[in-house]
Structure 1
Amino acid sequence: MTLTRKGSRPITVGGVEYRWAIRPKPTYSQGLGATMTYAIELAERPGPVLVVDTGRPRPDNWLDQTTEPVTPAEVADGIRAALARGFDFT
């Protein structure tokens, strides 16, 4: 699985370029308040995709649960945490 270029955002962490994306529309369970996820992969050599669970609902959930959007700083922290735990993007 690779991310589409359309809708993905670039981010650089530790001198390495990545792309990340959030699903454009919620899944049915996310609409009902299930946690939001986002995906990250290397920008130059797409390969394994890291899926990060935010632990909070999407801002566009159908139940009007309050939440916060995903920020680039949060994505960078997720990449660093995954690398520290041994995730290999190659």
Structure 2
Amino acid sequence: MTLVKRGSRLITVDGVVYRWRVRRRPTYPQAVAVSPLSFAVERAEGRGSVLIATMPGTHPSNWVGTGSAIPVVPSIVAAVIRRAREQGWRPDRPGPAFSLAVSRAIWAETSST
């Protein structure tokens, strides 16, 4: 599984270049605020496992208008990549997608710096 390059952004974390992407339009469960916002990350070069990070808040474009949306910014993406690497994500090896639930603590750590 690879990410679509269109709409993705590059980020360098600890000397490795990654590509990350947030789905522009929410899925139906995200739109009705039943499931949270998620984003995907992969190494920019080479093929390997994809990281699927699930945020604690809703998609900003949800139809319900809940105020629990947390923006996905590069500092959060970098923190999530580091946390996933610590927990065993191997982006340089092919395999199934690696899932990581992002806690509000990670968001709080990155927003305070």
- TM-score, normalised with respect to structure 2: 0.77
More strand, by proportion: 1
CA offsets per residue over residues 25-81 of structure 1, 9 Å max, x none?
100000011200000000011321100000110111000011221111000000000
* Structure 1 unaligned regions, length at least 5: none
Structure 2 residue 35 is matched with structure 1 residue 68: no
Deviation at 1:24, TM superposition (A): 1.8
CA RMSD, 1 decimal: 0.8
Identity of aligned residues (%): 42
Amino acid at match of 1:73: S
Give the Cα separation in 1 of the matches to 2:54 and 2:70: 14
Q: Which runs of 4+ in 1 moved over 2 A?
A: none
* Structure 2 unaligned regions, length at least 5: 93-113
| Count of matched residue pairs | 90
Q: Which residue of structure 1 lines up, in the alignment, with residue 40 of structure 2?
A: 39
Q: Which residue of structure 1 lines up, in the alignment, with residue 85 of structure 2?
A: 83
